[in-house]
Amino acid sequence: MVKLYGFPLSTCTRLVALICKEKNIPYEFIQVDLVKGEQKASSYTAIHPFGQVPYIDDDGFILYESRAIARYLIRKYPNQGTPLIPSDPKANALFEQAASIEAFNFTTFIQPIVYEKLFKPRRGLQTDEERVSVMLAMLQGKMDAYEVILGKQKYLAGDSITLADLSHLALGALFYGLGGAFAEVFDSRPNLLRWWKDISNRPAWLAVKDGP
């Protein structure tokens, strides 16, 4: 059985758990307490040199970085659960395009907002509202492009769901949950909202959204 080492509130940990659910892969979740700094212990960094979560132990095969883990699990079980990475060269190229969109046109802007509005206050730090405003303004243009893409097809890579779509969920849910102007980014764009409601109501996500 795959052993998933991570933290319940970690968006990257939840992505890996989500893929396990989508692919019907049994896994054992082993908590690494980030609050206590367990990820920085020498015994941990001997396995994960960056001292981050998650990593998996698949019968002795160690792998970290959530996107790499997700691809590995999907490719290891191609005929199990939901097909999430196309094998056809053109379809696969469109998937890789969509994956790049997620990484550089979504996560790049939403991650700093979530960090400033959610994670800094939890640590007793003051939110940099100017940074939030700048990131939010830049995000608007990116989401305009999403609206165009999703007006032509059901998902980011075409009419079948892929890892690229699912990779938005953990961070996107925290962002959308901020409400107000942040939720309005999705709510004001009908194609984007339709897509968001679709992916965020998948049974696999509902099973892990509050922790793996």
Domain span at residue 192? 89-206
181 falls within a domain: yes
Which one-letter DSSP state was computed for residue 28?
A: E
The helix or strand, by DSSP H or E, that contains position 199, with its residue range, turns out to be helix 190-200
Considering 44, 76, 108, which residue would you say is the last residue of a domain? 76
Q: Are residues 52 and 112 in the same domain?
A: no
15 falls within a domain: yes
Give dist(CA 146, CA 130) in Å, integer.
25
Which of 118, 70, 138, 110 has its CA nearest to residue 196?
110
pLDDT confidence band for 168 (50 / 70 / 90):
very high
198 falls within a domain: yes
Tens digits of residue pLDDT in 171-212: 999 999 999 999 999 999 999 999 999 999 999 999 999 989
CB atoms within 10 A of CB 180: 7
Give dist(CA 149, CA 147) in Å, integer.
6
Give dist(CA 212, CA 46) in Å, integer.
24
204, 27 in Cβ contact below 8 A?
A: no
Considering 54, 76, 98, which residue would you say is the last residue of a domain? 76
pLDDT at 56: 98
Q: Are residues 124 and 61 in the same domain?
A: no
**Burial class (CB within 10 angstroms; exposed 0-12, middle 13-18, buried 19+) of 7:** buried
Considering 50, 76, 102, which residue would you say is the last residue of a domain? 76
Q: Are residues 145 and 98 in the same domain?
A: yes
pLDDT at 207: 97
pLDDT at 211: 86
Q: Which residues does 39 contact at the CB level (< 8 Å), separation at least 6?
A: 7, 32, 45, 48, 51, 52, 53
Tens digits of residue pLDDT in 64-113: 999 999 999 999 999 999 999 999 999 999 999 999 999 999 999 999 99
83 falls within a domain: no
Residue 68: give its domain's CATH number. Answer: 3.40.30.10
- The count of domains in the chain is 2
211 falls within a domain: no
Q: Are residues 190 and 93 in the same domain?
A: yes
48 falls within a domain: yes
pTM of the model: 0.95
- Burial code (b: 16+ CB inside 10 Å, e: under 16) for 33-70 equals ebeeebbeeeebeeebeebbbbbbbbeeeebbbbeebb
Q: Are residues 170 and 193 in the same domain?
A: yes
Q: Which SS3 state, helix, strand or coil, does residue 63 take?
A: strand
Which of 30, 19, 126 has its CA nearest to residue 82?
19
Q: What's the half-sphere exposure (Cβ side, CA atoms, 13 Å) at 85?
A: 16
pLDDT at 190: 98
81 falls within a domain: no
Q: Are residues 115 and 165 in the same domain?
A: yes
For residue 15, how far is the Cα from the chain centroid?
5
Tens digits of residue pLDDT in 1-53: 999 999 999 999 999 999 999 999 999 999 999 999 999 999 999 999 999 99
pLDDT at 127 over 90: yes
Q: Are residues 187 and 120 in the same domain?
A: yes
Tens digits of residue pLDDT in 70-83: 999 999 999 999 99
